[in-house]
Amino acid sequence: MDLTLAIIVTVVGASTPILIAALGELVVERSGVLNLGVEGMMLIGAIAGFVVQFHTGNPYLALLCGAAAGMASSLIFGFLTLSLSANQTATGLALTIFGTGFSALAGSSYSARPVSLMEPLFPAELAAHPVWKVLFSYSFPVYFSFIMVVVIWYFLHKTRAGLILRAVGENDQSAHSIGYSVIGVRYMAVMFGGAMAGLAGACFPLLLTPQWAERMTAGRGWIAVALVVFASWKPFRLLAGAYLFGLVMTMELYAKAGGGVLSIIPSELWAALPYIATIVVLVLISLRRDASTNAPACLGKPFLPSN
Amino acid sequence: MQFRLEKRQEPSKFMAYATPVAAVALTMIIGAIIFSLIGYDGVGAVREIFLTPLTNSYKWQDLGVKAAPLIIIGVGLSIAYRANVWNIGAEGQYIVGGLCATGIALLTWGMTGWWILPLMMLAGMAGGMAYASIPALLRTKLKVNEILTSLMLTYASVQLIYFLIRGPWKDPMGIGFPQTRLFSEAARLPTIIPGTIVHLGVPIAVLVAIIAWFIMSKSVFGYRMRVVGAAPHAARYGGFSENKTIWLAMLVSGGLAGLAGMLEIAGPFQRMVPGFPTNYGFTAIIVAFLGRLNPLGVIVAGVVLAITFVGGEVAQTTIGLPNAATGIFQAMMLFFLLAGDILIKYRVRRVMPQTSTEVA
């Protein structure tokens, strides 16, 4: 019983950053933009969050600064792809290379310096009983990620602004001709995606390992991009996908700690499993009939008004 | 006064050549300013990273050795990207190529014979091709995006190195170090200039680029790649199968990445170690773009990126600039290059405010 609870708590911790980053990317892609720089923006958010936590010890400020840093870096991508119609694939890759280098430089004097992890949101008495622990023992970003699933679903499907965003992603020329600013909407979406990626990155030092390590996001940003495809661009499916991956990653942790049956399989295979699982999931998704029909029609294509 | 973009009748040839040069120049200027602002010796950083490796002749051998894998992988990627096939897992194909070559070197350990190196080369290329064929198969059969699959396979291949060198391939005399034994003489790449570290891979890289340039500009294969990338509809109409093109692009780029992996393992490394993945596969993406997806341009771009690697190490020892600065300079180059791309298809026109309000 205790082990099951511990596993659930670990799964939630591992899933949260992926879910937050993937939710941001989902909104970006729904507006018709493919930003492959999630991994880079997460690293920038991670180092920003770490530095703020290290100097102020205020995790909320750290999360906020992580989000701000991620948003700032997304503006580089936005300017190049939206204002200058640069190739989105190449620019996203460039952003990831930049984020990797930038975070490594900014963090070079902070290696092996510990910070304190973020405290749970609710008082410890509430989480005293094991069953309540499953519900009340997490810190703010976990609850934030759940709320955002609902908020983004509501925004996309129940609000006028969400409808406009989807219209821009499905048919940019029509949206433009009725008078909506395609570029403006996409800028907002890209900035939102950047803020979410940055916040997700800040979760790494605040929730998972309380220190700075180069490339500490270890490809989670890419998994987030893959999850959006897996979820067929739908927020609730994203929630399921992120937790599936959190479970796989948690199994790796238990295998490394020498957890019984799990240790029969070499630890390297466990470490490779999230990436292999991503491929398997993409394959399974492609077998479904509605797989590609859900993709926003204008995804990845630069917008140039025809008139 | 306002500026407006106006579509050119034809893409500008001049801009296609001028923008990479301008991107490097801008990176040096803006880089110096930014690094000064964040408290480093900005001018010194640019001098050490971009100029010292060129002006000090004893650094030239390092340039050649670093440029070789970048050029070989960059040539392969430039061919794939021409055809709009986004193989970004060259790092993984490089790793598997290196692993396959290591396998041959360990099997033939203690043996002599001229055939060992060519066999390693074939194994390296076959390994890279095999690893690239996974994304190719998934893309052509199931329409799975090759960007994500090729990248995920890269992360998985790193774990394969760890598994092999901690387990079955571990050096029996290695006092616990996770590495393979040192290759025997016959499995090591000879140096071509006595007294230097310049190995056979350097001329091979130049040769690969020249052959690729010839094939891309003079053969049906090259024509197919360029047409499929530039005008997919026309290509389909002209009878070029899209799937066949994807396969060709993945196999060529994967095979070349695997060759680079073999040359690195048999040249500078001479044994498999955890530090074998050196990001050449990712940096080669910048090389391919900076070289304008042209194999001859890739030679120049490979040397430019090699300069920043060598210079980054120089700057680390002389002015204490962290090694990560190199990555920032490299990414800035790519940013400026991508931003400049718009000048190839568009020209900037000055317009008077009255006319612009009329238009709006």
Q: Is residue A40, in this structure, part of any structural domain at all?
A: yes
Disruptive mutation site among B6, B99, B144, B285 for chain A (greatest number of A CBs within 10 Å): B144
Does B233 have pLDDT greater than 90? Answer: no
Amino acid (1-letter code) at residue A170: E
Among the CATH numbers 2.60.40, 1.10.10, 3.40.50, 1.10.3470, which is that of B2-359?
1.10.3470
Taking an 8 Å cut-off on Cβ atoms, the answer to whether B322 and A105 are in contact is yes
pLDDT of residue A289: 64
Q: Is residue A32, in this structure, part of any structural domain at all?
A: yes
DSSP string, A205-233: IIII-SS--TTTTTTHHHHHHHHHHHTTT
pLDDT of residue A255: 75
A272 interaction partners in chain B (CB closer than 8 Å) = 155-156, 159-160
Taking an 8 Å cut-off on Cβ atoms, the answer to whether B335 and A93 are in contact is no
Q: Is residue A279, in this structure, part of any structural domain at all?
A: no
Helix (H) or strand (E) holding B93: helix B90-107
**Residue of chain B whose alpha carbon sits nearest to that of A79:** B339
Confidence of residue B150 (pLDDT cuts 50, 70, 90): very high
Residues whose CB falls within 8 Å of the CB of residue B240, separated by 6 or more in sequence, listed in order: B224, B227, B228
Q: Is B323 exposed, middle or buried (0-12, 13-18, 19+ CB in 10 A)?
A: middle
Q: Which residue has the tokens 């295979």?
A: A269
* pTM score: 0.90
Q: Is residue A254, in this structure, part of any structural domain at all?
A: no
User: Please, are residues B259 and B100 in contact by the beta-carbon 8 Å criterion?
Assistant: no
Report how far Cα A300 is from the mean position of its chain's Cα atoms. 19
pLDDT of residue B209: 96
pLDDT of residue B353: 58
The neighbour count for residue B29, using CB atoms within 10 Å, is: 11
A279 interaction partners in chain B (CB closer than 8 Å) = 134, 138, 144, 148-149, 152-153
pLDDT of residue A66: 97
Does B359 have pLDDT greater than 50? Answer: no
Give the mean model confidence (pLDDT) for residues A80-107: 91
State how far the Cα of B318 lies from the Cα of B296, in Å rounded to an integer: 33
Taking an 8 Å cut-off on Cβ atoms, the answer to whether A87 and B338 are in contact is yes
State how far the Cα of B187 lies from the Cα of B111, in Å rounded to an integer: 9
SS3 A297: coil
Does B295 have pLDDT greater than 90? Answer: yes
State how far the Cα of A86 lies from the Cα of A91, in Å rounded to an integer: 7
Does B356 have pLDDT greater than 60? Answer: no
Give the mean model confidence (pLDDT) for residues B230-251: 85
- The number of folded domains in chain A is 1
Confidence of residue B360 (pLDDT cuts 50, 70, 90): very low
A93 interaction partners in chain B (CB closer than 8 Å) = 88, 285, 334
Higher pLDDT, B273 or A270: B273
Which residue in the set A85, A229, A287 is minimally distant from B342, CB to CB?
A85
In chain B, % of residues over pLDDT 90: 65
State how far the Cα of B43 lies from the Cα of B324, in Å rounded to an integer: 17
Does B358 have pLDDT greater than 80? Answer: no
Q: Which of A81-85, A300-304, B337-341 has the lowest mean pLDDT?
A: A300-304
Å between A140 CA and nearest CA of chain B: 30
State how far the Cα of B64 lies from the Cα of B225, in Å rounded to an integer: 29
Which residues of A make CB contacts under 8 Å with B? 36, 76, 79-80, 84-87, 89-91, 93-95, 97-98, 100-105, 108, 214, 218-219, 222, 225-226, 229, 266, 268-269, 271-272, 275-276, 278-279, 282-283, 286-287, 291-292
Taking an 8 Å cut-off on Cβ atoms, the answer to whether B142 and A80 are in contact is no
Å between B296 CA and nearest CA of chain A: 20
Closest-CA residue to A17 (of A55, A45, A53, A50): A45
Give me the residues paired with residue A15 across strands. none
Does A261 have pLDDT greater than 80? Answer: no
Q: Is residue A285, in this structure, part of any structural domain at all?
A: no
Give me A97's structure tokens: 């290379």
Does A99 have pLDDT greater than 50? Answer: yes
Tens-digit pLDDT profile for residues A181-202: 999 999 999 999 999 999 999 9
Q: Is residue A288, in this structure, part of any structural domain at all?
A: no
Q: Is residue A62, in this structure, part of any structural domain at all?
A: yes
Give me the residues paired with residue B349 across strands. B4
Tens-digit pLDDT profile for residues A148-184: 999 999 999 999 999 999 999 998 888 998 889 999 9
Which residue in the set B147, B160, B328 is minimally distant from A105, CB to CB?
B328
SS3 B322: coil
User: Please, are residues B303 and B290 in contact by the beta-carbon 8 Å criterion?
Assistant: no
SS3 B351: strand
Mean pLDDT, chain B, whole residue set: 90
Tens-digit pLDDT profile for residues B196-210: 899 999 999 999 999
